[in-house]
């Protein structure tokens, strides 16, 4: 394999994605809406570019899942002020600095989604009326939790898998923020927990840090068996 084809294997650009069509939603499906919180919006502490532009579409897809008796679940990044993923808790370090331990990294973040703050609240345009459960994550100051299923120690469960299994959910559809962090890790863990996983690509936006992370994580998801959908994939 030469270097060019190697790069093609590990990157997948947004415009190269093939989408599943004609999806009929049923009660064995769940919509997982990841971290649609003020701090990930363009004016927030850890802004995801255009993060607010998906809110209207997310609200519309919620209606489709609701009328088809599917479950709607939110995740909420919910950190103590002392969280070790914050650069402010590492003297001399700045947000964006590389930092990797077994449970934190690959970069340090600005303080964000601190428990009880406005930044940790869901965006007030997000319609949360039909939500079955809110899964909070990232509460242990020593461990980050990008995935809605598992903390970054890859051991501590949030309870999401148990909830989905007791509801007899077979397929999960992921949207929200950020594509290359919390959506990505939720998607790959969803596969490992035995679900059929779809990323609703046009209802998510990425951070792309480090640069290229979006196309890298898209490729990893494809390799792992995650399927891609978009707003128009649903009947
Ligand atoms: C997230 C970085 C840090 C996310 C959460 O929701 O994608 N990213 N905490
Ligand atoms: Zn966080």
Return mean pLDDT, the chain. Answer: 95
For the CA of 40, the closest atom of ligand 1 is 6
For the CA of 109, the closest atom of ligand 1 is 3
* pLDDT band, residue 5 (cuts 50/70/90): low
Do the bridges between strand 196-205 and strand 171-177 make them parallel or antiparallel, or are there none, so unpaired? Answer: parallel
Tens digits of residue pLDDT in 29-86: 999 999 999 999 999 999 999 999 999 999 999 999 999 999 999 999 999 999 999 9
Q: What is the Å distance from ligand 2's center to 23 Cα?
A: 32
Domain ranges of the chain: 14-233
Q: What is the Å distance from ligand 1's center to 2 Cα?
A: 34
* DSSP codes, the chain: --HHHHHHHH---GGGPPPP--BPP-TTEEEEEE--BGGGSTTSSSPPTTGGGGHHHHHHHHHHHHHTT-EEEEEEE-B-TT-TTBGGGSTT--TT-B---SSS-SB-B-S-SBTTSGGGSBPTTS--TT--EEEEE--STT----SSSB-TTS--B-SHHHHHHHTT--EEEEEEE-IIIIIHHHHHHHHHTT-EEEEEEEEEE----STTHHHHHHHHHHHHT-EEE-GGGB-
Q: List the residue whose alpha carbon is closest to atom 6 of ligand 1.
A: 182
Pocket test for ligand 1, best of 32, 86, 181 (most atoms within 8 A of CB): 181
Between CA 28 and CA 170 the distance in angstroms is 5
Between CA 19 and CA 40 the distance in angstroms is 26
Tens digits of residue pLDDT in 173-189: 999 999 999 999 999 99
The predicted structure's pLDDT at residue 10: 79
Closest CA to 61 of 180, 179, 198: 198
For the CA of 77, the closest atom of ligand 1 is 5
Omega within 30 of 0 (cis) for the link into 210? yes
For residue 151 and ligand 1, the question of a CB distance below 6 A is answered with no
Q: Which CATH superfamily is domain 14-233 in?
A: Isochorismatase-like (3.40.50.850)
For residue 181 and ligand 1, the question of a CB distance below 6 A is answered with yes
């Amino acid at each position: 394999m030469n270097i060019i084809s190697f790069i093609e294997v590990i990157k997948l650009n947004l415009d190269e994605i093939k989408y599943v069509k004609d999806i009929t939603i049923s009660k064995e499906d769940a919509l997982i809406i990841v971290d649609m919180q003020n701090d990930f919006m363009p004016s927030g502490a850890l802004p995801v570019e255009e993060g607010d532009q998906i809110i209207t579409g997310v609200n519309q897809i919620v209606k489709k899942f609701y009328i088809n008796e599917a479950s709607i679940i939110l995740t909420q990044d919910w950190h103590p002020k002392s969280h070790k993923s914050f650069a402010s808790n590492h003297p001399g370090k700045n947000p964006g600095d590389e930092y990797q331990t077994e449970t934190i990294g690959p970069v340090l973040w600005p303080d964000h989604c601190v428990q009880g703050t406005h930044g940790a609240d869901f965006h007030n345009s997000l319609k949360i009326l039909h939500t079955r459960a809110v899964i909070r994550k990232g509460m242990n100051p020593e461990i980050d939790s990008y995935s809605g299923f598992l903390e970054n120690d890859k051991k501590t469960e949030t309870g999401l898998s148990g909830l989905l299994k007791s509801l007899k959910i077979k397929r999960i559809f992921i949207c929200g923020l950020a594509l290359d962090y919390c959506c990505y890790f939720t998607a790959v863990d969803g596969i490992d927990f035995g679900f059929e996983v779809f990323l609703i690509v046009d209802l998510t936006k990425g951070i792309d840090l480090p640069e290229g992370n979006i196309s890298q994580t898209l490729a990893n998801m494809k390799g792992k068996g995650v399927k891609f959908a978009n707003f128009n994939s649903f009947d």
